[in-house]
A and B are shown apart, each in its own frame.
Chain A
């Protein structure tokens, strides 16, 4: 976050928030975000957020998990502890696929969750936005547009949102 003051515009419903977000995006403002109680279809596009690459990370994690588990099985069964079990080949790849598959899913999921925490910067228990009056409703039934652009002040934001009827416009921090 830049040092610019944070401006919050509060809305009663998601549709108006989407309109407001599109206007802010089209005005070319930087550092726009929204705080909403549930995932809203189309909000990332309305804010102009780039698509997330977390799933690529999950793919990588999955492949790593698979290779690690398969490699471990191959190493232990072929090199470290070769044991003839009923004449089966030491490198019993069909059997090795089962633990390798489980490790693949686990690797992908761990990569996804760790990636999620890294990408969102969570856990972060304190944030300036929590100081805003009424912000506790952002997790319930209010929809906030947040602007942290040094070029924007409350008056410009109010002008941009003309006609959308925000419940309030506040400056935080």
Chain B
């Protein structure tokens, strides 16, 4: 299987082969039974998500477990987790492009789609959490009759700027890469409706060498910009915490620690989606053992960087000597949330150690299991960062625990429905693999030029 992705073969035959493999599930076959079942389920769960949002907008955030001490609860943890997933796709795609990893071509398209959907979902949570969600637009600077301006020194305004820029960026990056493939779909489509739709979406792309030259220039420049942008986005999320005055949050390690966490959870999500896509669309020839092997190594490396971050955090809390910081540290290991903290460490640090062995990295059930555990662990990390610090602040009389409510759990669980629904539509309507890029890589590896 892995040979198929690297062997050059006769150029024209393999080029058409890749295109057939990717485009036929979109154009040729009617949707399979299992796609419809998944679509209906995801649709139902999405309705539940809309219901949760509506009910929160109507009844207010008293529905959630947030209290006067733990003022940030599930919504902020969900936001950080989803934006972490959302950060990884573009970062992976851009980093692998800049470092010329040929295996990028098979995974970048759906990783970018994952980014787009996850970041959109992430953006909903802070708004739901506002208390007065109908005033979310106050974050945007605009001349208004109140003569008020946003508070630029606030990390939440930075957040708004970062997420808004990132969403626009991710969409443009994804779409620019998609244009040539949309033209391919237009040219292969048999029905007039599909030709028309893909033709319009492809902007009339005709593969001119001049267009390719400009496409390449802009796309590569965007990739170079993507890396600092993504790092800044999740750093800003880290600053939401680090720019505060709370023990356990006010740490200079937070921005890079959040960026690595995002890469870590994002790669785990890419692995999860890659396993599902490969099975669902029959892409065994394109998404090969080699991809899973490489992604497994990245997850393992990221797990070690996470370990280093945790160790630094613990060491600095102890070495700094501040009683409040040490108190939070003790609370982490011995307080009521300690079992969750241990579970988080097991998921994020121990589970990825299985990936030392190549045999396990290419064993899909094992890899998928590790990926899911990593994502559970990363969600636990996000919620525990909030709970541990806020439940154990400076004022002992104000210390409270967080009790999640049914609505907390429902909103989190049903947000996956929207993600799944968007992703199912994506794989049904658009090419899930960058066909032009795969063929370019094949051509270059074939050394035909």
Interface residues of A (CB under 8 A from B): 12-15, 18, 21, 33-44, 47, 49, 52, 54-55, 58, 69, 72-73, 76-77, 80-81, 83, 85, 88, 92, 95-96, 98-99, 101-103, 105-106, 108-110, 112-113, 115-117, 119-120, 122-127, 129-130, 136-142, 146
Contacts and interface: CB of A to CB of B under 8 A. Distances in A.
Nearest to B155: A98
A120 B209 CA distance: 10
Given A14-B443, A47-B209, A112-B221, A140 B449 contact: no
A106 B210 CA distance: 25
Nearest to A111: B218
Contacts of B236: 98
Contacts, number: 206
Nearest to B184: A139
A19 to B, nearest CB: 10
B225 A108 contact: yes
8 A-B pairs with the lowest CB-CB distances in the bound complex, closest first: A136-B187, A76-B149, A123-B203, A99-B161, A141-B15, A34-B209, A102-B165, A38-B440
Contacts of B166: 102
Interface string B351-370: 00000000000000000000
Given A80-B147, A116-B218, A125 B204 contact: yes
Contact of A18 (B205, B221, B449): B449
Contacts of B158: 95, 98-99, 102
A93 B149 CA distance: 16
Interface string B3-14: 000000001110
Interface residues of A, dominant DSSP: helix
B350 to A, nearest CB: 36
Contacts of A138: 187, 206-207
Contacts of B221: 54-55, 58, 108, 112
Given A39-B440, A47-B209, A85-B151, A140 B165 contact: no
Contacts of B176: 113, 116
A40 B12 CA distance: 14
A55 B176 CA distance: 15
Interface string B147-178: 11111110001100110111011001100100
A166 to B, nearest CB: 14
A18 to B, nearest CB: 6
Given A37-B439, A81-B149, A122 B211 contact: yes
A38 B436 contact: yes
B208 A34 contact: yes
B184 A52 contact: no
Given A116-B176, A124-B203, 6 more contacts: A36-B207, A80-B147, A103-B165, A105-B228, A112-B221, A124-B204
B152 A33 contact: no
B188 A136 contact: yes
A95 B154 CA distance: 8
5 contacts: A72-B141, A110-B168, A120-B211, A141-B12, A146-B208
Contacts of B443: 14, 38, 40
Interface string B25-62: 00000000000000000000000000000000000000
Contact of B11 (A14, A44, A124, A127): A14
A139 B12 contact: no
Interface of B: 11-13, 15-16, 19, 141, 147-153, 157-158, 161-162, 164-166, 168-169, 172-173, 176, 180, 183-184, 186-188, 199-200, 203-218, 221-222, 225, 228-229, 232, 236, 239, 436-437, 439-440, 443-444, 448-449
B448 A15 contact: yes
A61 B95 CA distance: 23
B212 A43 contact: yes
Nearest to B442: A38
A72 B229 CA distance: 21
Contacts of B225: 105, 108-109
Given A34-B209, A113-B172, A122 B203 contact: yes
Contacts of B184: 37, 139-140
B395 to A, nearest CB: 20
Nearest to A77: B152
B203 A83 contact: no
A105 B212 contact: no
Nearest to A57: B218
Given A139-B183, A140-B15, A125 B141 contact: no
Nearest to A76: B149
B422 to A, nearest CB: 23
